[in-house]
Structures are given as structure tokens and as C-alpha cells.
Amino acid sequence: MSQRKVSFAHGEYYHLYNRGNSKQDIFKDYFDRVRFQNLLYVANGNVPFVFREVQKDEVYEFERGNQLVHIGAYCLMPNHFHILLTPAVENGVQTFMLKLLTGYSMYFNKKYKHTGGLFEGRFKSRHADTDEYLKYLFSYIHLNPIKLIQADWKEVGIKDLERARKYLDGYKYSSLNDYFFSRHESVIIEPNKFPEYFNGMEEVSEEILEWLTYREFAEENT
């Protein structure tokens, strides 16, 4: 898997995403999603690793060395993923994504006897070059799972707001609940490396609720 020749500047924020080749599912069950979440942590360091040698109950104690990126948000959907991050070191984004996607592809291909590329080419990226766009991306990423219960909510609005909020509260494969509850997965994200509105539960709740009730939510690439 070749590295992406893009400059990611220190102190800037980026939305990274990719989906399965031909829009195929890349997460088929609970274990696939947990493996990717574990890799979000383990791959984020300059220490080489062989995942099968990392003890399952000690994943988040793995000595990964110096971090490559700081993650502010993520979400796993059946056939794609989203990550919002900022570089921690030079070439950190490229190295992190290479380790993450290579590690997951090897796991997926072995488990499902899959051949060929798992992902739709190299990962895509968008620079969050304004505060407004960064706040939008934070909400966009965390609200993605609503598509699983109402595919057209961005076009027509949410038909059942309470159902949507409960669904998000129970969705285990994004970082949203890491902002609301103290879970072990929270070691993946680092809100303190992002603007202040990432740090408070009240601010996050207000931001998400505002978008939940807003009818013109633009669609990103996935």
C-alpha cells in the first residue's frame, strides 16, 4: 500500500475517510469493528507491532512509543470510516494511515479469504481550514450512524428525534460517547489537542443537537 504524497501541516486539522472497494462492507461484525478501534490506538505510534502479539486485555496499555497523530473524532460505518485528526509529528498522518489500513486489510483478507484491494484506493482527506468547517465535521462524523435508521434524514429532516438521539447514544463504533462517558476507548481520542468546544460535554451536546434539528446538512463524499 503506497503512501499518500500530501502535506499535512502541524497545527492544522484534517478529515480522513475511505470506503470499501466497490462500496463493499469493510466491517461485517462486532469483531471487525473492535479490531479497527484497537488499531486506531495501537497503530498510532512509532513502535512496530505484530497485532497477534498484543494481548487482547492489554491493547490500551501497549507501549506504542511516540504518537503520530492526535485524533479528535472517528466513526465506523458498514462500508466506510471517518477520522478527524491533527498531525503530531512530520509525516505522522501518512505513517499512521499506512499502519492502520495495512494492518486492518491483512486481518480482513485473512478472516474472509478476500483477495484484491479492500479499500477504494488511497484514503481521502479534506483540510478543515476554518473553525466553522471544523465544527461542522465534528458533528457530521458523529451523526453518520443516523443513516442506518433513516437514510434520507439529511434531505427531509429527522422524523423521530428521540429515536435518533437514543440510537446515537447506543452506537459503540464512534467517539461520540467517549465525550459523554468515561470508556476505555477514550484513550483513542485527545480532545485537548483540539479547540475548546471539543472538551466539554455540554458544548458537544449542544453542537450535536443543533445539527440534529437542522434540515440542510450537506453530504460529504461517503
Confidence of residue 216 (pLDDT cuts 50, 70, 90): low
Name the pTM for this structure: 0.89
- Mean pLDDT within 34-48: 93
DSSP secondary structure letters along 172-196 = -SBSHHHHHS--GGGGSB-GGGS-G
Give yes or no for residue 212 having a pLDDT over 60. yes
| Rounded-to-integer distance, Cα 221 and Cα 204, Å | 24
Please state which CATH number belongs to domain 8-222: 3.30.70.1290
Site of grid cell 490500551 = 60
- Mean pLDDT within 21-27: 95
Confidence of residue 217 (pLDDT cuts 50, 70, 90): low
Written as one letter, the residue type at 116 is G
pLDDT for position 1:
44
Confidence of residue 3 (pLDDT cuts 50, 70, 90): very low
148-189: pLDDT as tens digits: 999 988 888 888 888 998 999 899 999 988 887 654 446 899
pLDDT for position 137:
92
pLDDT for position 53:
67
* Kind and range of the H or E run holding 206: helix 201-212
Confidence of residue 2 (pLDDT cuts 50, 70, 90): very low
Give yes or no for residue 109 having a pLDDT over 90. yes
- Domain extent listing, the chain: 8-222
Most confident of 48-62, 129-143, 187-201: 129-143
**Cell digits of residue 164:** 435518533
pLDDT for position 200:
64
